[in-house]
Structures are given as C-alpha cells and as structure tokens.
Amino acid sequence: MDILLSNDDGVYSWGLRVIYRQLKKLGRVWVVAPLEEKSTAGHSLTIHKPIRLLKMESGFYGVSGSPADCVYIGIREVMKKMPDLVVSGINRGANLGQDVYYSGTVSAAREACILGLPAIAVSVDLDHRKQKEDKDIHFETAARTLMRLLKEVRLADIPKHTLLNVNVPDVAMEKVKSLKITRQGFRYYSGTVLKRVDHRGKPYFWIGGQYKGFHNTAGTDCHTVAQRHISVTPVKLDCTDHEYLKKLERVFEANASEGKNGRNARAKRASRTHR
C-alpha cells in the first residue's frame, strides 16, 4: 500500500511516530505534517501566503501550513500520485461530536475524502484536566485499533466522500471493552472569552472555554468512548439535512399551490368584472 500520514499535532508529535511504526508494516508511508501544532485549525487551506515544505528524515516532511494543506501538498508535490489510504493522527485528545468541524485531524482526512480517497482520522480521548506526558498516553492502543480496523474493513467498501472517525479511550488495549460503530454526538463547552490587556494597554482575548460534558445518548461517539469502548463513526461530506429538506419542499410546494389557486381566483373575478 501507498499511505499518506498526517496530523494536526505537528510533525514532531509522539502519536505520529507511534502510528507510523505500525503503518510501515502495510507498505510505503509518506509523512507530511505541520511544522507546528495546528489543533482546531479546521478545514482551512493557505492561499494568501507562501507555504514552506521542509524535507526532514526519510519519508518525513514538515509543512508551514494547515493539516489540509499537508494532504493537498503531500499528494500533489511529495507523493505526486494518489495514495491508497490517507491516515490522520494519532491526535492527542478526542475528536467527538461537533468537534469534527474544528478538528485539524479530521480536516486532514476530509481533504483526502474530497478527492474520493479512503481516509481515517484517529484520536485518543484524554482528560485535559490532568497533565499527562506523551509517553504515558496510550497511543499504542489507538495504533493497534487502526491496524485491526484495516484488517476488518475493505477500503474499497468505504463509500466515496466518506471518512472514518476513530476515537479510542486512553487505556491499555486489554482494558478496552469493545469496538462499536457509532453516530455523531454533541459536546458542551462553556464558551468563555477571557479578556486580557497587553503591555501597551491594548485588550486581547483567549477563546475556547472549558469542556462541560456531552449529550448523553446511547449509540453516539461521545457516549461510547465515555464507556471505554472504541468509537468508529462514518462521516460524510454531504451535510444536507435530508429530512428537513423534504419538509421544506412540501412547505414550498403547498405555498406555490396556494399562490397559484389565489392567482386563478383573482383572474376569474377580474374576468367577471370586465364582462
């Protein structure tokens, strides 16, 4: 296999090295990742300034842009061909619920997904209230999960423009309960904005707030990982609310019909008046 590996924690991150060692067993791996941490970068492409590509050790490249930039450049400039698989991770922290829209990790996979390539984002759930060294995080559990997934799921069976978002509890493999296929949940944050003043007396802000929990619904990625199960969620590019779309169609069809009937009635009254 030809595999492109990226992330949002940066080319020097511990999780990237762990998953790289596993993926090398499957074929040739190109690593193209940000030179700096790009967490919560979302799906952004750098189009207003130059991007630097730094060749590092064999097969590793650092990019001065976003995770999506890394996949874009990795395919077109580094590999110069389409890979069989794009993997993003292992992220230091979960990407659950609506976090997938902010996540640089998921965005790297989504950039590949746009090209119709099989793509998988992998993350480890952490309690950010606790300080933990990278060496103590169970990245190996996530890496082994990915390898298991690649044995059980045929890449050709993943629908075009759909990625797999994998979230793994931060526990040893033997303490993981099971792997479950889930749907996207919803997480809550405080939404706090912290205002500060710089040394010149001008205000600046820190945004983000604190994690406040999740909508506790069984079958969602949030609930599943909280129960120490592995969550695998198929995420598609099409964000259309198809159920509401049908409702809107019925509303506008009804309004159009009423409008047509009203025009016909007015036309008949006008005709009788002229007679």
Query: Tell me: the pLDDT tens digits for 218-251?
Result: 999 999 999 999 999 999 999 999 999 999 999 9
Contact 77, 65 (CB under 8 A): no
Distance (Å, rounded) from C-alpha 270 to C-alpha 275? 9
Residue 262: pLDDT band (50, 70, 90) is low
Strand-pairing partners, residue 3, are: 29, 85
What are the residue ranges spanned by the domains of the chain? 2-186+215-239, 240-275
- Look at residue 166 and tell me whether its pLDDT is greater than 60: yes
Query: pLDDT tens, 18-50?
Result: 999 999 999 999 999 999 999 988 999 999 999
Distance (Å, rounded) from C-alpha 107 to C-alpha 100? 8
pLDDT of the residue at 149: 96
Residue 188: pLDDT band (50, 70, 90) is confident
pLDDT of the residue at 178: 95
Name the CATH architecture for the domain at 2-186+215-239: 3-Layer(aba) Sandwich (3.40)
Instruction: Show Cβ contacts of residue 76 under 8 Å, excluding neighbours closer than 6 positions.
Output: none
Query: pLDDT tens, 200-215?
Result: 999 988 887 788 888 9
> Average pLDDT, stretch 1-17?
97
